[in-house]
A and B are shown apart, each in its own frame.
Chain A
Amino acid sequence: MKDVREALFVGTTTSGKPVRRPISPHLQIYKPQITSVLSIFHRITGCALAVGTLVLVWWLVAAATSDVAFATVSMVLHTWVGHLALFGWTVALWYHFCAGIRHLVWDAGYGYELSSVHTSGAAVLAATVVLTVLTWFIGIIVV
């Protein structure tokens, strides 16, 4: 035992065998539920958006550098891989945006009933789909 905190994680199975108790929420043991799944999605999309900022910085720096550099960014973003990355970025952005607002509502002290949690979770998923489709619809048809 390297860390005294590990003493808190010592438990026994029903047969009396000593085990290291899992720290909640242990992904391999806990049954996936909409609450835990949406929570981990919020973290994953946040990390994905952090990667996405690299594209934003590349795009801005290229625009400020030269027409050639900017043409390179435009070319890469217009490949199917580029479009796929942008689509993924849109999904991550709208999910993190909606789930973030859900968190702010919780922080304000509302929506803690289990039924409300399930409803708001479903609403976040629905809003993500609608906003993503709407964003690309406007992008392709209107712009």
Chain B
Amino acid sequence: MSKSPKQTIMRSTLSQVRGSGSAKSGTAHWWAERATSVALVPLTLWFILAIYRMAGLGAADIAHWVSHPVNATLLLALILVTFHHMALGLQVVIEDYIHNDRTRLGVVLLMKGVTALLAIAAIIAVLKLAVIG
């Protein structure tokens, strides 16, 4: 075994064992972004077909379409995965361009809050259409 050059490692041993790096959450964010993108491939294709189905329909016809359990399930899945993927992506964009720590934290939290509210509004709308009509 060759002798390795002397290195000064300035990270604590605990930090090295955790392996979370400067992002503080390891690869969780990266993985979640990829996993949601894979799920969005079939969901997006389904949604395009769904838009064709609903083009020109009134609210009552759309409620009837959403009331089908398969459509409601896929629509809710699309909403959950889309907004999750969107929050992950926008967070990276914000972190890249806002260098002030406090502003960055504030904008990320605001974005997450708005995204969560949009997702909840969409879910409530789908549930109401599916159950009540």
Query: Which positions in A face B, CB cutoff 8 Å?
Result: 3, 43, 46-47, 49-50, 53-54, 56-57, 60-64, 66-67, 70, 93, 97, 100-101, 103-104, 107, 135, 138-139, 142-143
For the complex, what is the distance from the CA of A61 to the CA of B90, rounded to whole Å? Answer: 23
Are B125 and A47 neighbours in the complex by a CB distance under 8 Å? no
Given A46-B89, A63-B59, A70-B59, the answer on whether A53 and B125 have CB atoms closer than 8 Å is no
Distance in Å: Cβ of B43 to nearest Cβ of chain A:
11
Known: A47-B93, A56-B122, A57-B122. A63 touches B86 (CB 8 A): no
Nearest residue (CB) in A for B60 is A67
- Would you call A50 and B129 a contact (CB within 8 A)? no
Asked if A64 and B90 make an inter-chain contact with CB atoms under 8 angstroms apart, the answer reads: no
Q: A131 to nearest B CB, angstroms?
A: 9
**A-binding segment of B4-12, B13-21, B34-42:** B34-42
Asked if B109 is at the interface (CB within 8 A of a chain A CB), the reply is: no
Could you tell me if A64 and B118 are in contact, using CB atoms closer than 8 angstroms? no
User: In the complex, which residues of chain B have a beta carbon less than 8 angstroms from the beta carbon of A64?
Assistant: 63, 124-126, 128-129
Chain B residues with CB under 8 Å of A66's CB are 59
Is A139 in contact with B121, judged by CB distance below 8 angstroms? no
Total contacting residues, chain B, CB less than 8 A? 30
A48–chain B nearest beta-carbon distance, Å: 11
- Docked Cα-Cα span, A60 to B129, in Å, equals 9
Task: Give the complex CA separation of A133 and B93 in angstroms.
Answer: 29
**Binding site of A, secondary structure by majority: helix, strand, loop or mixed?**
helix
A61 to B48, CA, bound (A): 19
Does B106 have its Cβ within 8 Å of any Cβ on chain A?
no
Interface centre among A43, A49, A53 (most CB of B within 10 A): A53
Q: Are B59 and A135 in contact (CB under 8 A)?
A: no
Top 9 closest pairs, chain A to chain B, by CB: A64-B125, A60-B125, A70-B59, A64-B128, A61-B125, A63-B59, A143-B52, A57-B122, A63-B62
The reply on B44 being an interface residue by CB < 8 A is yes
Contact assessment for B122 and A60 in the assembled complex, using a CB-CB cutoff below 8 Å: yes
The residue of chain A having its C-beta at the shortest distance from the C-beta of B126 within the complex is A60
* Complex: A117 Cα to B126 Cα, angstroms: 41
* Contact A54-B125, Cβ < 8 Å, known A70-B58, A135-B48: no
